[in-house]
Amino acid sequence: MKRILFFVLCVAVLPLQTNAQFKINMGDDSPIRKLTIAEMAVNNLYVDSVNEAKLVEDAIRGMLKELDPHSSYSTPKEVKALNEPLQGNFEGIGVQFNMIEDTLLVIQPTVKGPSEKVGILAGDRIINVNDTAIAGVKMSKEDIMKRLRGPRGTKVKLGIVRRGVPETLFFTVTRDKIPVHSIDAVYMIRPEVGYIRIGNFGATTYNEFMQGIDKLAAQGMKRLILDLQDNGGGYLQAAVQLANEFLEKDNLIVYTEGRTTGRMDYHCDGNGRIRDLPVTVLVNEFTASAAEIVSGAIQDYDRGIIVGRRTFGKGLVQRPIDLPDGSMIRLTVAHYYTPTGRCIQKPYKKGDLKEYEMDFDNRLKHGELTNRDSIHFADSLKFETLKEHRTVYGGGAIMPDEFVPLDTLQYTRFHRQLAAKSIIINASLRYIDDHRKELKKGYDTFEKFEEQFEIPQSLIDHIIAEGEKANVKPKDDEELQRTLPFLRLQLKALVARDIWDMNEYYHIINQQNHIVQRALQML
């Protein structure tokens, strides 16, 4: 799942310059003319009918496939889906939801959003949309979202089943812009130590980050932990804005350079508000692109300590090229380089996407995720940081200053299989659905919940029983006992997320995040 996530998110692009200028040679020996003739021949002469639009799309995909792993083609529908997490909003009814047995369960309505305004509550089940049944009909999540979303100002009629109410309730919701936040958590993780986790770099990231800084400063923050684990990237400008807050005037943050684009430098303006705030940056193997720009700049200037595991190594710059039908090509035009001149992009073979996608598995197999000594760098890849002249390495990705091995014992085989079959998440959703009122009544504050709440044994027994039905069993009692501590913590975090929000989820799950805990030990 994480590997899918970073391919969706690691799309750090240059400032939008989509009206690219080209000189097209249509002479007799032109490759473009050759391609045009081939397309016309297939479309007009082929023995069976063909879809001309798909024919052209396949040709574009074929060309890009032979280049690098991040040059890509997206249909109009895919373009919209890719842009929404980064643009900071979408248009819809404003609910967080999940599916339980083919039924849409509202986890939380967006605060002050259109659904909350008409009275839709957490725990409600949406069973039909505009008189079309969506419950019990095995409709895909994508199709359901298509029916719920729509232009701002349009209305949608929802049929709701609410626990304790015998008849179906009907609400007419006026769709509106729904904010999409790129920061997952902001809280004081220890006295004087603030914690901010950024999920991706989008259009609103900088403003969200500075609001988080203000909130933590008011609570006495003297040091900051900036968590970029699993952050797949996003907009270059958002990364530059964020790095600018930490660095000094005229410091080089990042530069890009390509065959035809020339070198472009991004410098600090000297107006950063937290230039003296001690910072520790957390990274892992899924930290990519814009997140690597921030990490690399902070490391190169000895501005903070990087803790975790070697990052993904996505340092290719894509320029979006809009096509007439709303589709888009994201074409790699340059490389990213850190201030010391390190290229962030890891090596790859053109046209070999499979090997590139297997990088995580290869790192794990070679011991690079569990043992620092298994990571080898050639002497030719040595660089020096710009202030303390420490040795850092190029060759792709950012190697942390403090290595934290992946704990393969924390996620047992049994736990991984329970998660893969959605047994854990479904069990937690059912538990919350059955006990939402008593949980909210018994734990009026998150602090009380964190201190007193314990996962009941009945929920653990239910998960084990559901696992057996799906032929998922622990190898022996030892594996079961190793699974239980993190399973209980994960379930508690999921309950906290659905009663409150992601901030509370990370507040709990970070208690067993080894990278977070190592950073705290170092402080």
**If DSSP states are collapsed to H, E and C, what string results for 209-253?**
HHHHHHHHHHCCCCEEEEECCCCCCECHHHHHHHHHHHCCCCCEE
H/E segment holding residue 73: strand 72-74
Residue numbers annotated as active site: 289, 300, 314
Count CB atoms within 10 A of the CB of residue 69.
23
Whole-angstrom distance, CA of residue 329 vs CA of residue 309: 32
CA dihedral in degrees (176, 110, 513, 359; nearest 10)? -30
Count CB atoms within 10 A of the CB of residue 225.
24
Whole-angstrom distance, CA of residue 427 vs CA of residue 404: 31
Contacts for 9 with CB less than 8 Å, ≥ 6 apart: 85, 200, 231, 232, 233, 234, 288, 289
Radius of gyration (Cα) for the chain, nearest Å? 25
Do strands 155-161 and 193-198 pair parallel, antiparallel, or not at all (unpaired)? unpaired
Contacts for 395 with CB less than 8 Å, ≥ 6 apart: 342, 343, 346, 347, 377, 378, 381
Q: Helical H runs in 24-174?
A: 31-45, 52-65, 76-87, 114-118, 141-148
As beta bridge partners, residue 402 has 307
- Our measurement of the distance from residue 434's CA atom to the centroid of its chain's CA atoms, rounded to an integer in Å, reads 30
Q: Helical H runs in 470-513?
A: 477-499, 502-509
- Our measurement of the distance from residue 349's CA atom to the centroid of its chain's CA atoms, rounded to an integer in Å, reads 25
Pair 129, 156: CB distance under 8 Å: yes
Sign, Cα dihedral of 409, 413, 414, 420: positive
Sign, Cα dihedral of 67, 70, 75, 79: negative
Burial of residue 418 (CB within 10 Å: 0-12, 13-18, 19+) is buried
- Our measurement of the distance from residue 522's CA atom to the centroid of its chain's CA atoms, rounded to an integer in Å, reads 27
